[in-house]
Amino acid sequence: MLLRMEHTPKTFQGPYLKGKILIASPLIGDPRFDRSVVFMCAHGDDHAMGIIVNKPMRLRLPTLFDQLGVKSEIEVADRAVLDGGPVDRDRGFVLHSDDFEHEPATLKISAGLALTATNDVLEAMASPRPPRRSTLALGYAGWEAGQLEDEIAANAWLITEADEDLVFGESHEEKWAAALRKIGVNPEHLTGASGHA
């Protein structure tokens, strides 16, 4: 435990990343995260947790609601369910605007954004008064103490500010390049330098 407490400040001097976006660099070295854009929901000394927001699955929201027996009072938007990451892949996580809140299940992340992982948010999404914006993911990305900091120090991740288009937008194939442009990085130069097409 003492090692972990000493470990974090040495490898990462920046502020905690809750509410930020992580952009996978070509140095990521893990195909599960290739070109991933991750919205960080929690980050502290002992762990970090985020949702990948640009990897759509074939599963569609109305189909999932049918499978879960969520009664829809409205026509649920025909959007893709996201592959949120390799941990707890059978568990759903909804990122949403903060006009929905269900205490104590809702985690407020940053101004305007929150996370809920209970059926209450699904029922709200299927009601006449859904959250203004929302996206549902199965699974999440998780890191143990010091792990994410080490990956950042090894240039596996780049960091940018979150915005609603990156978190909720449906142009998933464009999010990685859009996130890079936010920090002034030309995606063609980055992928060319790494040997990726």
- Quick: pLDDT tens for 13-61: 455 899 999 999 998 989 999 999 999 999 998 999 999 999 999 999 9
Each residue of 73-94: pLDDT tens digit? 888 889 999 999 999 999 999 9
- Give the pTM: 0.88
What one-letter code names the amino acid at 73?
E
CA distance 18 to 109: 7
173 φ, ψ (degrees, to nearest 5): -70, -15
- Give the length of the chain: 197
Please tell me the predicted confidence (pLDDT) of residue 15: 59
pLDDT of residue 4: 28
Arithmetic mean of pLDDT, 166-184 = 95
Q: What is the mean pLDDT of residues 88-109?
A: 93
Q: What are phi and psi of 139, to 5 degrees?
A: 85, 170
- DSSP string for 145-177: TTHHHHHHHTT-EEEEE--HHHHH-S-HHHHHH
Query: Amino acid identity of 80?
Result: A
pLDDT at 12 over 60: no
Mean pLDDT calculated for residue range 187-194: 63
